[in-house]
Structure 1
């Protein structure tokens, strides 16, 4: 892989090869002469030739070069060049989770077994970043647009442009980062970040996978701590995404995931589970109450504690 081969394959980054346009850069589908297909994220330059977001570019390269996990996108290389600066990734045919959930036909294809696997995969990736990397790594922008799927709909966490290393004995105060609707509420009044911020975003993402849409109404009900909310009396089976076939094989798993997601959305950061606890709970083949799925309400799951039956 060379700089020249990527320039030739994209005809100088012609717009016809662009598949995603973002604020910091555009992503191109690149097929090399060897037949290998790559995703190349070209960073937008400024008029004076400097990178539009040098800090983001450096953060993403430094972070992804440190980590290797089956549920984190692979960075093959990067180029910092006066004319073109870009990052080279594996190409994932499934696109983003956000796109899949918005498209009715593709959402049907994303069956319940796949959805459970997606939630687990993201949890494993975050547990690895928080607990197995030294120093720990915060993603800071967990959302459905930053979860990519391969040809078998297995998830990869992507876009590490705002990732932060939690170095010991140093300040973890930082500027705001994240996607509206997924950001932990405490970041409205403090810029000190820790692992629980990612945990909160994971909770939102998990409910989005189960409900098929962003769970803004549920999140609001939890944050207000209102026990009188009518939402709490709704059956889980009536609130989940109705587009895939009924979730009979994994119905009890959906109860577990929803319960864990609600625990992750606790307004108090100190009371949220760690991603290590979350991934361990998701990995357990724990016997749940059989045939309880048709009768479980959202309120019962919000009140339930992580790890309880």
Structure 2
């Protein structure tokens, strides 16, 4: 529009100049033909024939009329040109505006469609079962989808108490049933504390990138005001802690199934320590964070406290973990390495072996750890069979029992450098697990158990 106004101004200015130049020419002609009578000093002017005078007068009128028509024609041409230019400019502006609106509409439509694909569809639209495994549609966060809050609220019966599977440090875990009878576990984290937010972000960031048979699958997440939700595959047999120390008191876990759980846990840790780049330290390995599926396959869960090795100065991070599983060097000096996870694994192995809790209360103000209580007896072959969990006592080959006890003793050594790498632990356990459970042991080769009286 500014260009058009400037162009119109130039045309008008040109017209005015042209008009002003035309007027003096007419005056000049008239003055050259007509001389005032009062001018005495002027030389005599010869008489002009009447025919010539008439010709001159006619010429003056014709010239004036010619200039008038010429000026009018220029004005008309200028107006037509300005109108054309203005029309072109207006048309161009309209075209640009239409294109801009179409672009905004298209991008808005794509954004809405993308948001709907993440928030408006049920999880079953993204998840399918193939040989017991879950497959999800990938988005910006790897293999995790953003879930709709209303969907999760309704699928958990409005987070009803009857759907609670367990209670954690920042909230409860609920059982949810989505479309097509797909059952999942929904962890609800209430409140906006810095620790809760950090753990939520860590969980989403890590589990969206980690995919392993012995690590829990994060299917989706949701943020709704102060409430944060994490959606996992459902592990129908709950946690190892519930199986060992709950109502069943370990009766569902045979010796071989316990060794299978230990092997699965070691494989999950090995993946974190050796295959992830940079390596990941779980930092909160315990029996309640080892979940069991319908076939008692074990998977590591709860990665809120996990850190990436080398991502920060591990000697200055906030002390976190669970009493009884925390390595002494981390508890006393704040030194954190992958050997801290190995210590926690050793405690879990003792739980599987002895059926005891990691910390037991002796008196109102006294507690005793399983490591302190068991260490003197683990190395005594005459005493070891008598402290084994009664549910599995005398059901294993004693040689295998001694080997598992030796691995546990090494894992819970006070000095980190004395502890083995989790890879070494893994290779020590593989021969103790039957082939059909993922190990290399052939049951036909096992010797009958021997009962030793105290």
Q: TM-score, normalised by structure 1?
A: 0.83
Measure, in 1, the Cα distance between the counterparts of 2:333 and 2:210: 28
Q: 1:18 aligns with which of 154, 164, 172?
A: 164
Instruction: Indicate whether 1:40 and 2:186 are aligned.
Output: yes
Aligned to 1:165: 308
Pairing partner for 1:219 from 371, 379, 382: 371
Number of the residue aligned with 2:411: 264
Summarize the Cα distance change of 1:266–1:104 in structure 2 as closer, same or farther, 3 Å threshold: same
Q: Distance in 2 between matches of 1:118 and 1:28?
A: 24
Normalising by structure 2, we get a TM-score of: 0.58
Mapping of residues 141-160 of structure 1, within 5 Å? 141-160=284-303
Q: What residue number does 1:303 align with?
A: none
**Which residue does the alignment assign to 1:304?**
none
1:222 positional shift: 7.6
- Partner of 1:105, secondary structure, is coil
* 1:17 to 1:108, Cα distance in 2 relative to 1, 3 A: closer
- Per the alignment, residue 75 of structure 1 pairs with 218
How far apart, in 1, do the equivalents of 2:385 and 2:219 lie?
42
User: What are the Cα deviations for residues 153-192 of structure 1, in whole angstroms up to 9, with x where unaligned?
Assistant: 1111111111111126x41221111110111011232223
Q: In the TM superposition, what is the alpha-carbon distance from 1:221 to its structure 2 partner? A: 5.6
CA distance 1:267–1:286, change in 2 (3 Å):
farther
Give unmatched runs, 5+ long, in structure 2.
Answer: 1-122, 124-146, 359-367, 432-439
Match of 2:385 in 1: 237
Bigger mean CA offset, 286-295 vs 150-159: 286-295
Alignment CA distance shift 1:245-1:265 (3 Å) = closer
- Distance apart, 1:16 and its partner CA: 3.0
Contact 1:45 1:51 in 2 (8 A): no
In 2, the alpha carbon distance for the partners of 1:19 and 1:218 equals 27
Alignment: residue pair count: 286
Instruction: After superposition, give the CA deviation of every residue in 1:49-107 in whole Å (9 maximum; x if it has no partner).
Output: x6761001011111111211111111011112225311100011101111111236351
Mark the runs of 5 or more structure 1 residues left unpaired by the alignment.
Answer: 224-228, 298-309
| 1:115-126 aligned within 5 A | 115-126=258-269
- Please say if residues 95 and 149 of structure 1, whose CA atoms lie closer than 8 Å, have aligned partners that are also in contact: yes
Structure 2: distance between partners of 1:245 and 1:232:
17
2:172 pairs with 1:30: no
RMSD over aligned Cα atoms: 2.7
Taking a change above 3 Å as real, the CA distance of residues 291 and 40 of structure 1, as seen in their structure-2 partners, is same
TM-fit CA distance, 1:218: 5.2
- For 1:21 and 1:27, locate their aligned partners in 2 and report how far apart those are by CA, in whole Å: 6
2:377 touches 2:383 (CA, 8 Å); kept in 1? no
**In 1, Cα distance between the equivalents of 2:178 and 2:377?**
55
Moved over 3 A (4+): 103-106, 215-218, 229-234, 284-295
Is the 1:237–1:293 Cα contact (8 Å) retained in structure 2?
no
* Residue among 251, 276, 280 paired with 2:423: 276
Q: Which has the larger radius of gyration?
A: 2
User: Displacement, 1:258?
Assistant: 1.5
Structure with greater contact order relative to length (CA < 8 Å, sep ≥ 6)? 1
Alignment of 1:127-142 (within 5 A): 127-142=270-285
After superposition, the Cα gap between the structure-2 partners of 1:246 and 1:65, relative to the gap in structure 1 and judged at 3 Å, is same
Cα distance in structure 1, aligned partners of 2:234 and 2:377:
44
Q: Is the 8 A contact 2:378 2:409 kept in 1?
A: no
Deviations 1:209-247 (A, max 9, x none): 011113556512688xxxxx5775452211111123632
How far apart are residue 5 of structure 1 and its match? Answer: 2.0
In structure 2, do the counterparts of structure 1 residues 141 and 83 end up closer, same or farther at CA, with 3 Å as the change threshold?
closer
